[in-house]
Structure 1
Amino acid sequence: MVKPRNVSIYSSWVELRLIVRITLNNDQETSWKNSLLL
């Protein structure tokens, strides 16, 4: 099955935003502490 290019770009953009959003929501404090440690 061939997807139109726009659809695949859009779906990967949505996935990326979802991953970033989940990461920020779940690990905000942890990543803040990690950045202080680094």
Structure 2
Amino acid sequence: MTIKLGINGFGRIGRNVLRAAVQNFSDIEIVGIN
């Protein structure tokens, strides 16, 4: 089952979360960045 993830804030931590989600987890879908 795919986990849908929205990131609120795209500063240093938001970028690191996005990078980690894309590289390490194949079952996470980024649906929104605010």
TM-score normalised by the chain length of structure 1: 0.39
Higher Rg of the two aligned structures: 1
- Of structures 1 and 2, the one with the larger relative CO (CA 8 A, separation 6+) is 2
> Which is richer in strand?
2
TM-score normalised by the chain length of structure 2: 0.42
